[in-house]
Amino acid sequence: MLHVKDLHASVNDKDILKGINLEVNAGEVHAIMGPNGSGKSTLASVIAGKDTFEVSKGELTLNNEDISELGPEERAHKGVFMSFQYPVEIPGVSVTNFIKTAINESRKAKGLKDMPASEMLKFIKEKADLLEIDRKFLSRSLNEGFSGGEKKRNEIFQMAMLEPKLAILDETDSGLDIDALKIVANGVNKLRSKDNAVVVITHYQRLLDYIVPDFVHVLMNGKIVKTGTKELAHELEEKGYDWIKEEINA
């Protein structure tokens, strides 16, 4: 589904991604781990289409289609979703109105009419229940005054509504207590299918107890330096990253 080959990206002439290779197939869950500043969030943003990064080299395709030149909204229409580490607050626009707008904009891009209001309402209700979201929460201004946990839960709610093919979760676990983490992970698991894929970016192994990955990649200094299975995450949790550095240098 997602094919990344020798991807290089920079910001203000500073190289951040230095040749990323990654293959993600439908039905798979990949975890990307790595120390601070290794380029994890940049990778997520580059796949989602943030244009502050310059992609200087490499391939980026989704279902065999080159998406490297597309704007973020076009990538979203093709099924890319990114859960933000720091979701932006939009005062005056409710969660419900925001998600309605997002869904109908995607439909418009596909040549479909707006989703009928009653259907939308039913859909919202169903997904809100899935993530144990209170009705009152939906009429609040988007992310304004939300707690860290509420923001993250709201991100996964948007994911549930937009039904992406490829979901990238950028540090969705940061700032979550264990109960919120379980709800979020449970939501993600329920949304998994053989047709979609999830990339989880995290510092900690904790989230991976609940969203179990098929593959774990270690990103260091702009490159994927090691790939393994879920056991690798446990090893990293126990031993940190230094041993990998030593392995590379050896």
Using CA atoms, how far apart are residues 202 and 29, in angstroms rounded to an integer? Answer: 13
SS3 content of the chain, % helix, strand, coil (to 5): 40, 30, 30
Using CA atoms, how far apart are residues 187 and 211, in angstroms rounded to an integer? Answer: 10
Size of the site for another protein (CB under 8 A): 37
**Choice between 97 and 227, CB closer to another protein:** 97
**Choice between 2 and 80, CB closer to another protein:** 80
**Choice between 86 and 243, CB closer to another protein:** 86
Stretch that binds another protein, among 27-35, 44-52, 171-179, 183-191 (CB under 8 A): 44-52
Position 73 contacts another protein (CB under 8 A): yes
Stretch that binds another protein, among 9-17, 94-102, 123-131, 235-243 (CB under 8 A): 94-102
**Choice between 79 and 215, CB closer to another protein:** 79
In contact, 142 and 84? CB cutoff 8 Å: no
Using CA atoms, how far apart are residues 17 and 37, in angstroms rounded to an integer? Answer: 11
**Choice between 92 and 249, CB closer to another protein:** 92
Q: How far is the CB of 142 from another protein (least distance, A)?
A: 8
Position 48 contacts another protein (CB under 8 A): yes
DSSP of 182-211: HHHHHHHHHH--TT-EEEEE-S-SGGGGTS
Position 178 contacts another protein (CB under 8 A): no
In contact, 184 and 159? CB cutoff 8 Å: no
Position 215 contacts another protein (CB under 8 A): no
Position 76 contacts another protein (CB under 8 A): yes
The one-letter amino acid code at 38 reads S
Considering only residues 97 through 156, tell me which ones interact with another protein, judged by CB under 8 A.
97-98, 100-103, 105-106, 109, 139
Whole-angstrom CA distances from 22 to 38, 39, 60 are: 16, 14, 10
Q: How far is the CB of 79 from another protein (least distance, A)?
A: 10
Pairing of strands 223-228, 215-220: antiparallel
In degrees, rounded to 5, the angle at the alpha carbon of residue 88 between the alpha carbons of residues 95 and 157 is 40
Stretch that binds another protein, among 17-25, 86-94, 179-187, 198-206 (CB under 8 A): 86-94
Q: Would you call 53 exposed, middle or buried from its count of C-beta atoms within 10 A (0-12, 13-18, 19+)? A: middle
Q: How many residues does the chain have?
A: 250
Binding residues for another protein, rule: CB under 8 A, are 45, 48-52, 71-73, 75-77, 80-82, 84, 86-88, 90-94, 96-98, 100-103, 105-106, 109, 139, 158, 162
